[in-house]
Amino acid sequence: MTESRRMLKRIFIAIVYMAVFSGVGTGAYFIFRPAPVLPVPSASLASPIEIIWSQVFSAGPNLYSVAAKIKNPNTGFGAGLFSYTFYLYDANGILLTTSAGESFIWPGESKYLVLGGVNLTKAPVKVQLRLGEPAWREVKNFNGIDLTLENVNYGQEKTGSGKFFSVDSTASNNTPYDLNKVYVSAIVLDKDELPIAVASTLLENLKSKERRSFSIPWFSAFLGVPNSVDLTISTDLWETPSLIGQ
């Protein structure tokens, strides 16, 4: 073998070794490299929903309702879904039952959570509300939804009517969209602005520009003297995404 052929052979072997070691090094990098740091979703900047108050209300013999007022302090984030659970306790702090549901909340919205039909043979005296983690969604430049309540009337019903008290109003859908579900909550307040009774209703298929009268009744007497009624109206933005772009 001539000297030139020996030199070519050495160069070839060197190239092979370099290729092998380069491949091993590259493979090791991809296997053992640190996981990339993913950007933190902007929704993680959202503050928790605030619980203003939670309370249990008598709704008849062995029948109760629970309600709470909550507030979303975030003006740039809404929650398309969150779960909640009311825990009802007796005078000794013993848990009697739980009542759970799901809801949504607009950016900056204050609203009521109302659940009725809680049957108990022992009267609850304390209630606690726990909220699940909201499914936050960023909503930019949210200006609210044009849903209004007009012609609000309330009062005690006549004897023999089968009702103790009722709230009557007219809901108006002033948006250009038909709304599948519109939620209305009624909170009866005494002279000190404290809640003494609660109820809610669901208005289905409220058409664009429609005005619909409705009534929310109480069939059993409640304690306290009604002085005013706070009505709220809401709909799930994410069931009609075009609302967010208004």
The reported pTM is 0.80
What pLDDT shows up at residue 159? Answer: 85
What pLDDT shows up at residue 58? Answer: 93
Give the single-character DSSP code of 159: T
Work out whether the CA dihedral 71, 101, 200, 217 comes out positive or negative.
negative
User: pLDDT: is 113 or 242 the higher one?
Assistant: 113
Residue 136 to residues 41, 67, 85, 132, 236, Cα–Cα distance (Å): 10, 23, 19, 12, 13
Q: Are strands 50-60 and 77-89 parallel, antiparallel or unpaired?
A: unpaired
* Residue that the structure tokens 């092998």 belong to: 20
Give 69: exposed, middle or buried? Use CB within 10 Å, 0-12, 13-18, 19+.
Answer: buried
End-to-end alpha carbon distance in the chain: 85
User: Does residue 88 contact residue 64 with C-beta atoms inside 8 Å?
Assistant: yes
pLDDT digits over 155-179, tens only?
Answer: 999 888 889 999 999 999 999 999 9
Give the residue-averaged pLDDT of 28-52.
64
Q: Residue 242: pLDDT band by 50, 70, 90 thresholds?
A: confident
**Exposure b/e, 199-228, CB count within 10 A at least 16 = b:** bbbebeebeeeeeeeeebebeeebeeebee
**Identity at 17, one-letter amino acid code:** Y
Give the residue-averaged pLDDT of 219-245.
91
Question: How far is the C-alpha of 26 from the C-alpha of 13, rounded, in Å?
Answer: 20
User: Does residue 67 contact residue 54 with C-beta atoms inside 8 Å?
Assistant: yes
155 — alpha (psi -120 to 50), left (phi > 0) or beta?
A: left
- CB neighbour list of residue 245: distance below 8 Å, 6 or more residues apart: none
What pLDDT shows up at residue 143? Answer: 86
Structure tokens, 141: 């430049």
